[in-house]
Structure 1
């Protein structure tokens, strides 16, 4: 697909609308999930996965069943969300249904239409959504009810390829076939921002999950893939056990150009040894992962869930070097939900 055709396709989908992205994000996980739709916390086959439900028969007491939208099973959002599920259920009366999705942009749609009570998203996507700007999905279509809860950890931009492709710098991606992430995901947004910032316009774009991208690399169907998530990303770890992988740096003038084009990118480094066969540190950029909710979720619910997570960080195993009360507002790009504000201001 030529550059102009590719851009027309993305613009035409616009991603249609933010609510359309989440329109199918019910029990079946929606159309953008990184892997086959996966849910945890379901008690019966005929219950709605994405509605907040009351376990008291609807007598006016607070709802106790909450829907939490994560990301694909090959990334960081899904396993971390399941750790959140455990600490919330161990320390509150709430039950969390964690659902695999296409991540940030789709998750904003689910929050906007009430299909999700909480979700993990990127801080740049949150800003775009709340302000109705930045990308076609949100242009002049602000998500007014989107609220922040807490920021969590840097989401590293990883450009992964195989050693035998000969791709060692971003300029080598010109003319390549590149998986930029699920259609409508934050990964796709970031990938296209970066490629445009460094002047790469001649490439064929593929859109699939992290796990599917790893399979495409194995099979020689693509030359490189963008992955956005806290390292180590499981899909890349798995790929590195079967193939010689290479991580393409975003450094020097390229990093400067990327940061000049989008202020939410920050410097980041993937430590040597993170992935098998990649022994040296790799310079790159990152955005920030965050928990979001919508304005209609009760203040007491948000405060209780927030407290359960941040009072029990020692029960987590993923990204614990970054997750904590002291850093939970670093990079927060949208208005806090009053329940989150009540916890962090206490």
Structure 2
């Protein structure tokens, strides 16, 4: 092999390395991806406003409820509406409100307390105040606060959390927001060691003894709490009446509810706690016909969400406008008004 061939080969090798590095750099610049759902064979119906439209749904952690419901909903809109759908794994409620407000997602799941907190913070930054960029398509099910401990921990009440290590949910999540407010109402804010874990991380940390308690804000049942209840001697702590009263004084959208004993293995009695409504949100200037069709398809094919998670069975169109904090999108309002008229006739 002569010198010319060696030089040519070396040059080609350097060029390939440079191109490869360039492509790798470009790949690293891509943010957390949207999972696109392949469009299935369409159902033979007349074309709808969703046909060919791109619909991204902001969900949550894969071990929560938002993720499986978001996956199922994306499939529904793709199959029956002909939309090109995608889902995003997120830190859930608070991140989802921001993604939808910034139009990085058409739809998102969020709790009312997270929505209200974000709207209040945004309003405080704007002078003069501007109308909300968010609307509701529909109210969903309730998130119940779970305060999970092992029976061997010796923790029997909220006040026993003094000085303990607590899983608070991911930073910036709706769970963290609810957990902080509960500790504040119980005057425990400065007397605990806080750890910020996803649901699955908190579950494992509780198993391993890394934390003493874990707080979950979730529909029923929460998959990680179910797994814990089956694997270890687990119990849930009730939220005292005095704490519930204080929370409701400051934040009226928190409701007093119970987690039924039958929800998780080895629970001896119902657990008194607080709950907050979940909402399917969108941005205000989403076209009315699109919002109408999204809402109509949601309720037309709601039974298809039941297999994704039991919490979907709690969704009721007759309760869709209650405790949702945000105004309904005009397209959604049109759907519910038509539904009421049909029921009246």
TM-score normalised to structure 2 length? 0.79
| Distance of 1:297 and 1:323 partners within structure 2 | 23
2:320 is equivalent to residue 316 of structure 1: no
User: Contact 2:278 / 2:324 at 8 angstroms: preserved in 1?
Assistant: no
User: Contact 1:106 / 1:184 at 8 angstroms: preserved in 2?
Assistant: yes
CA change 1:247–1:145 in 2 (3 A) is: same
Of 148, 153, 156 in structure 1, the residue corresponding to residue 141 of structure 2 is 153
Of 313, 327, 333 in structure 1, the residue corresponding to residue 319 of structure 2 is 327
User: Contact 2:52 / 2:82 at 8 angstroms: preserved in 1?
Assistant: no
Q: Which runs of 4+ in 1 moved over 4 A?
A: none
> Which residue pairs with 2:152 in the alignment?
164
CA change 1:324–1:27 in 2 (3 A) is: farther
Alpha-carbon shift at residue 181 of structure 1 (Å): 0.6
> Which residue pairs with 2:68 in the alignment?
79
> Which residue pairs with 1:52 in the alignment?
none
Q: Secondary structure at the match of 1:132?
A: helix
Q: Secondary structure at the match of 1:330?
A: coil
> Which residue pairs with 1:102 in the alignment?
91
2:41 is equivalent to residue 41 of structure 1: no
| Distance of 2:113 and 2:38 partners within structure 1 | 31
User: Contact 1:129 / 1:143 at 8 angstroms: preserved in 2?
Assistant: no
Q: Secondary structure at the match of 1:340?
A: helix
| Distance of 1:42 and 1:214 partners within structure 2 | 32
2:215 is equivalent to residue 226 of structure 1: yes
| Distance of 1:200 and 1:131 partners within structure 2 | 24
> Which residue pairs with 1:12 in the alignment?
none
Q: What does 1:112-261 correspond to in 2, within 5 Å?
A: 112-132=101-121, 139-140=124-125, 144-201=132-189, 202-261=191-250
User: Contact 1:302 / 1:340 at 8 angstroms: preserved in 2?
Assistant: yes
| Distance of 1:250 and 1:143 partners within structure 2 | 35
| Distance of 2:85 and 2:31 partners within structure 1 | 14
User: Contact 1:66 / 1:117 at 8 angstroms: preserved in 2?
Assistant: yes
Q: Secondary structure at the match of 1:158?
A: strand
Alpha-carbon shift at residue 216 of structure 1 (Å): 0.7
Q: C-alpha deviations, 1:103-134, integer Å up to 9, x for none?
A: 0111111112211110000112222333436x
> Which residue pairs with 2:22 in the alignment?
none
Structure 1 gaps of 5+ residues are 1-23, 30-37, 44-60
| Distance of 2:202 and 2:311 partners within structure 1 | 23
User: Contact 2:158 / 2:240 at 8 angstroms: preserved in 1?
Assistant: no
Alpha-carbon shift at residue 40 of structure 1 (Å): 5.3
Alpha-carbon shift at residue 311 of structure 1 (Å): 1.7
Q: Secondary structure at the match of 2:261?
A: coil
My pick for the range that moved more, 177-186 or 119-128, is: 119-128
| Distance of 1:262 and 1:145 partners within structure 2 | 22
Q: Secondary structure at the match of 1:71?
A: coil
| Distance of 1:325 and 1:217 partners within structure 2 | 37
My pick for the range that moved more, 314-323 or 219-228, is: 314-323
Alpha-carbon shift at residue 331 of structure 1 (Å): 0.6
User: Contact 2:146 / 2:215 at 8 angstroms: preserved in 1?
Assistant: yes
Count of residue pairs brought into register by the alignment: 293
Structure 2 gaps of 5+ residues are 1-27, 40-49, 339-345
> Which residue pairs with 1:32 in the alignment?
none
Alpha-carbon shift at residue 156 of structure 1 (Å): 0.3
2:336 is equivalent to residue 344 of structure 1: yes
